[in-house]
Amino acid sequence: MRAVLTLSVAGVLLTASAQAWGPDGHRMISTLAVQALPDEVPAFLRTPEAAEEAGYLGPEPDRERGGGKSFDDEHSPGHFVDVDDDLTIHGGPKLDALPDSREAYDYELNKKKTNQYRMGYLPYSIEQGFELLAKDFAYWRVDAWGEKNAKTEAERAWYARDRVMRE
């Protein structure tokens, strides 16, 4: 899964003009990503319906823009990162050696008289998304286990409902 995310990030960063993708590009990339998922990913994520839903939701961050100053100021920088030709962010952290946290990243950028909101923090948004996805899959696995192995019918039904909602 990390390899898929890494390749996705590389594709975004190496594209001459990621904004040129627009909704059609985001839709296409999201759909193709789901269609390319390996067999070890749960079957519910590899269906044509899941690919269609991912395609629909792919442009969502762009659709959210303009939600209001507070929202835009906080969330828009999570959708990009400005990388210089030397692969540093504003002469600060190198793209291939970013600090472990957004706080440390911002600290390094502050030394260069800028911050994460001006330079963007896309790599950290991706990492946060990955961490949440990993946790969601853990809950899904517990639900799948509980649906089959819980002690009472009521507990098995609860796990089944939770699994379906999570999917």
Please give the C-alpha separations between residue 156 and each of 114, 119, 135, 166, 167, in angstroms, as whole numbers.
Answer: 53, 48, 21, 15, 16
Q: What is the pLDDT of residue 66?
A: 86
**Tokens 């696995």 label which residue?**
141
Q: Please report how the helices 2-14 and 122-149 are oriented relative to each other, as an axis angle in degrees rounded to 10.
A: 150
Per-residue pLDDT of the chain (167 residues; tens, 9 = 90+): 555 444 455 555 444 444 557 889 999 999 999 999 999 999 999 999 999 999 999 998 888 888 899 988 988 999 899 999 999 999 999 999 999 999 999 999 999 999 999 999 999 999 999 999 999 999 999 999 999 999 999 999 999 999 999 99
Q: What is the pLDDT of residue 19?
A: 52
Tell me the three state secondary structure of residue 148. Answer: helix
Q: What is the pLDDT of residue 21?
A: 75
Return the domain boundaries, the chain: 1-64, 74-120, 123-167
Q: What is the pLDDT of residue 15?
A: 46
Q: What is the pLDDT of residue 20?
A: 57
